[in-house]
Amino acid sequence: MTRLNRQVEVLDARVRDIPLVEVMSKLGYRGEHDSNAKSSVYRDAQGRAALIITDGKATGGNEIVARNAVDLVIHVREAHERIPTTAREVTPWLAEAFGKNQAVATTLVRADQQGMAIIREHERSREMETRREPLREIPSREIERTSQREQHEGRSGFFR
């Protein structure tokens, strides 16, 4: 392997999340794995599907509860084990369970996801603002006055 290939591999590993199914296994949960659907189902004591992992995200009911290993551990501990948990507490646990590099990688993935969510939210709010504020129509007499003033002052075009 060339040195460049190795560097690319190392950088790629720095931004790769820990597979959520592996996290659930380390937490002590066993799921039903469906290789055709590429999903894993985790059932509660009554046999109902409490958590489904598909395509790198975990859903509970109809909502996405985690898109990364950190959020998955927080969700499982808080929602299913009733243990208040923070990302600051999860990261050392991930380091012990999967190694320091993997723990750092998953926190980077989480930070990236959070940053992108903030940007998407901002863009949506900006879109909503522009939809709500239609351009006001400039009365024709105001256009005429501006045009006359520009001709008198020797300017044309828009100005502020």
d(CA 147, CA 57): 59
- Ranges of each domain in the chain: 3-132
pLDDT per residue as tens digits for the range 94-144 = 999 999 999 999 999 999 999 999 999 999 888 887 776 565 665 665 555
pTM: predicted TM-score of the whole model, two decimal places: 0.71
| 11-47 residue pLDDT tens | 665 668 999 999 999 999 999 998 877 899 999 889 9
* Strand residue runs (E) in the chain: 32-34, 39-43, 49-54, 57-60, 63-66
